[in-house]
A and B are shown apart, each in its own frame.
Chain A
Amino acid sequence: SQTIHQWPATLVQPVGSPLSLECTVEGTSNPNLYWYRQAAGRGLQLLFYSVGIGQISSEVPQNLSASRPQDRQFILSSKKLLLSDSGFYLCAWSVLSSAFFGQGTRLTVV
């Protein structure tokens, strides 16, 4: 069966520090991969998606970037975090139509 791993679960980072969140999927090949952000009490906003290795599409211009160095690995990065980057970051994967989410990373920028 397919599983998605996302870490860390929580992260507190100072303003201006770098960020690297990693997501890996097991049990499937060539999945579509996604990064979403969820502000407190709000809906999910699509940040990036990838249909293959090295292929990244950005939905919202911002302080973040994404990379897909391997088929089942998706990384969300920032060179310098802003206070507004705080939120709940979710990685997801899909092969056909259904998307499945990881357990998320709660990022607090202080």
Chain B
Amino acid sequence: QQQVKQSPQSLIVQKGGISIINCAYENTAFDYFPWYQQFPGKGPALLIAIRPDVSEKKEGRFTISFNKSAKQFSLHIMDSQPGDSATYFCAASRGSARQLTFGSGTQLTVLP
């Protein structure tokens, strides 16, 4: 019940295309859902986050869609660029300590 399931494991998109990564969770105690971007050899960087009382959040080319009833959320990257090539992790947090449970990651490759 602590798991966050992420798909696909890898994704290849042409420059200018839309990248879509999906996550699902079971524990309804989760109340904060961030996405992280990680480049090789670096720590994950917070990209965008959403709370379950909001169905969509957009920041620049990045959008989170959240479906509370289905317990699913997704990251959309519009106009994908080669510089977006990285590993993306969804996560969920709960409780006073706000510890994060991560998905398994999606390796995104954007072809020029």
Contacts and interface: CB of A to CB of B under 8 A. Distances in A.
Interface of A: 6, 32, 34, 42-46, 49, 51, 57, 59, 90, 92, 94, 96-104, 106
Contacts of B46: 98-100
Please classify how large the interface on chain B is, using the bins under 10, 10 to 19, 20 to 34, 35 or more: 20 to 34
| Interface SS, A side | strand
B99 A46 contact: yes
A46 B41 contact: no
B contacts with A: majority SS: strand
B110 interface: no
B89 interface: yes
Interface stretch (B58-66, B69-77, B78-86, B90-98): B90-98
B98 A99 contact: yes
